[in-house]
Amino acid sequence: MLPWTTYEAMYDAALNQPEQFWLAAAQRVTWKQAPVTACRTREDGWHDWFPDATLNTCHNAVDRHVENGRGEQAALIWHSCAIKERQVVTYRELQGRVAGFAGGLRALGVGQGDRVLIAMPTMIETAIAMLACARIGAVHVVVFAGYAGPELARRIDDVGPKVIIIASCSFQGQTPIPSTPALNEALAKTAHRPQACVIVQREACPASLLPARDHDFLSLEQSAPAEPVTLRSEDPLYILHTSGTTGNAKGIVRDNGGHAVALALSMELIYGCKPGDTFFTTSDLGWVVGHSYGVYAPLLSGCTSVIVEGGASASAIRALCHEHDVKCLFTTPTQMRLMRQESRNLSGAILPTLARIFVAGEYADPTLLEWARSYFRKPVVNHWWQTETGWSITAHFFGLPEREPVSLMNDIGRPAPGFRTAIVPSMPGEQCGEIVLSLPLPPGCLAGVWKDGAIRVPTAYLDETGGHYRTFDEGMIEANRAVHMLGRSDDVIKVAGRRISGVQIEKIIATHPSVHACAVVAVPDALRGQRPVAYVVPDPTVERTLSAGEIIARVSKVLGRWIGLKEVRFVACLPTTVSGKITRQRLLVS
């Protein structure tokens, strides 16, 4: 049970007594050697969490729950929207399959510190491969299953994996897409050569195995089981590449001990979940949400995790929540918009066990949140985090007895423990600017970036003083610590010397009942420096014609004519990264 009743008491405890706070939080984890120190500065100037402690993440996520009597509880529930199949795996079954596959990896020569690249869709086998790596101290590198050969080749050369694991196919809709052609193309381009490749055979599109290279996943699962190895807290657990929205994709390194402590705390503090509860994330396991809240956080906390392959419809999500007594649903604004579009022909969802819904990945406008609250009749909230942080920078804290102020519900919340936010003003005297985080970052955040075969200090994220982490997001901070998001630093528009966030304009456009989605970008203007251009996706379920004049008038009425919005372009869809984030820079060259 959490020892605080209010947000302020919790946050102040982490701020004023960080060693005591995090050592207490660390008691949620089973250690081989318990920590006596919470945080230590490394020789390179970065920091390690619980540096004198040892543990195994896989043991914490799987074995200890079997030992504590949860062996017959469902650990993972998988549904495929592509092939209409499902699997339910108990903690005991998961333990056996993970231990066997870990033994198979070890037989292929994989050991502590070796990288294993996993390019698979969201499947039970994907989670098994991740946990098996954690079991033997290997470092897993999960990448999007749909990458073409050249992009996959870049990931392979970046991390130098000893083994690559793929499924024989992934799906676009219900169409199987063979995976081995992309793998073969990638390996023809790479300087690095893995020692072996492992393939999960799928009935829809089995692959031909190359005798000198390929191994069958299920056969390796039958290997002699491997026991969890003891690792230092600061040893790397995984490498995950960023989406590339702020430049070249970077390999973010996550440690074992700090990661386990932060995620276990977050399940109780932020999501209000306890052992035995069911947590459902719609994220692909290749993204940070899939890592943190599809696999590790629910399993570390003794919960049941529901994961899905492919895009789940509103009716499918509602059915899964009902069938599996889901307590928390975690999804994206993009998925929520698709649900809103489909649900116009559906009545509101009646889901007695669903307690709350969280959205992240990009900002969800208040209109979308209000629709979701009306449809699900549950609390629906934003929270803000990044691949680099691994869990919420700001959030709403449903584990605390104190109810969150209603005024915060449409914003991204207040800082989680250990995140110390500040604003670097864009111009003297302004209250808004880039949000920075004071170092050290709390546990669970990046332990460094992978570069040239080693873990490096993430200098690209540091400000000029070297004492702050740059989020590259702009916002405002109120006296009660509430953070208001204004958008990425490069999304801010400068009109005649005045600054306006594209997100502020998008919020207003999104309130129009005929708008499905929108994005606002800045273009050069000879007179005023810059001016906004709006890209709008009309709602296909609304019959009335949407005009540019309506959009312009709506924005001018709320923000004023000085904004200078004169151009509205109607499009069928907005460009996004493979993780679903809108890439506004691509609109500038369209």
- What is the three-state SS of 494-510? EECCEEEEHHHHHHHHH
> Of 367, 355, 359, which is closest to residue 334 (Cα–Cα)?
359
| pLDDT computed for residue 511 by the predictor | 87
| Cα–Cα dist 446/255, whole Å | 8
Average pLDDT over residues 494-505: 69
pLDDT band for position 489 (cuts 50, 70, 90) = low
Is residue 261 a contact partner of residue 60, using CB atoms and an 8 Å limit?
no
pLDDT the model gives residue 311: 82
Block residue for tokens 């990264």: 577
Q: Which two tokens stand for residue 280?
A: 């459902």
Element (H, E) at 314: helix 314-323
Which of 15-29, 143-157, 373-387 is predicted most confidently?
15-29
Q: Is the pLDDT of residue 245 over 50?
A: no
pLDDT digits (tens, 9 = 90+) for 128-170: 999 999 999 999 999 988 888 888 999 999 999 999 999 999 9
19: its two tokens:
């060693």
pLDDT in the model for residue 248: 63
pLDDT in tens, 404-446: 777 778 789 999 999 999 999 877 777 888 999 999 999 999 9
The Cβ of residue 129 has, within 10 Å, a number of other Cβ atoms equal to 29
CB 127 within 8 A of CB 285: yes
State the Cα–Cα distance between residues 151 and 371, nearest whole angstrom: 38
Model confidence pLDDT, tens digit, residues 58-95: 999 999 999 999 999 999 999 999 898 999 999 999 99
Q: The dihedral of CA 378, 382, 387, 392: what is its sign?
A: negative
* Separation between Cα atoms, residue 169 and residue 175, nearest integer Å: 10
pLDDT in the model for residue 264: 98
| Distances, alpha carbon 506 to alpha carbons 253, 367, 408, 565, 569, in Å | 34, 11, 19, 12, 13
Mean pLDDT, rounded, of the chain: 91
- Does the pLDDT of residue 345 top 70, yes or no? no
CA 379 from chain centre, in angstroms, equals 20
Owner of token pair 């669970």: 444
Higher pLDDT, 349 or 482: 482
Banded model confidence at residue 246, pLDDT cuts 50, 70, 90: very low
Within 13 Å, how many C-alpha atoms sit on residue 69's CB side? 2
Beta strands in 143-219 (DSSP E): 163-167, 169-172, 175-178, 196-200, 214-216
50 φψ region: left (φ > 0), alpha (ψ -120 to 50), beta (else): left
User: What radius of gyration do the chain's Cα atoms show?
Assistant: 24
Euclidean distance between CA atoms 75 and 93, whole angstroms: 9
Quote the tokens at residue 517.
Answer: 């989605």
**18-25 and 257-269 are packed helices; what angle lies between their axes, rounded to 10 degrees?**
80
Q: How confident is the model at residue 579 (pLDDT cuts 50, 70, 90)?
A: low
Would strands 356-359 and 328-331 be described as parallel, antiparallel, or unpaired?
parallel
Q: Residue 486's pLDDT is what?
A: 77
CB 105 within 8 A of CB 116: yes
% of the chain at pLDDT higher than 90: 67
Inter-residue contact 573 to 537 (CB < 8 Å): yes
The DSSP element (H or E) to which 590 belongs, if any, is none
pTM: 0.87
Kindly list the distances between the CA atom of residue 554 and the CA atoms of 365, 561, 573, in Å, as whole numbers in the listed order: 16, 10, 22
Strands 483-488 vs 251-255: parallel, antiparallel or unpaired: unpaired
Which of the residue ranges 37-51, 201-215, 227-241, 342-356 would you say has the lowest mean pLDDT?
342-356
Lowest pLDDT segment from 19-23, 386-390, 400-404, 439-443: 400-404
- 393 contacts 414 by C-beta, under 8 angstroms: no
| Helix ranges (DSSP H) in 137-179 | 149-159
Give dist(CA 121, CA 143) in Å, integer.
Answer: 9
Pairing of strands 196-200, 214-216: parallel
pLDDT beyond 50 at 346:
yes
Residue 206 has pLDDT above 70, yes or no: yes
How many whole angstroms separate alpha carbon 307 and alpha carbon 324? 12
Looking at residue 192, its pLDDT comes to 96
CA–CA separation, 47 vs 67, rounded Å? 33
Q: In whole angstroms, what is the distance from residue 443 CA to residue 255 CA?
A: 9
User: Is a pLDDT exceeding 80 seen at residue 454?
Assistant: yes
Most confident of 40-44, 474-478, 545-549, 574-578: 40-44
Q: Quick one: pLDDT band at residue 498, thresholds 50, 70, 90? A: low
What's the mean pLDDT in 543-565?
Answer: 84
Average pLDDT on 93-122 reads 98
**Which of 312, 296, 319, 342 is closest to 76 using CA atoms?**
296
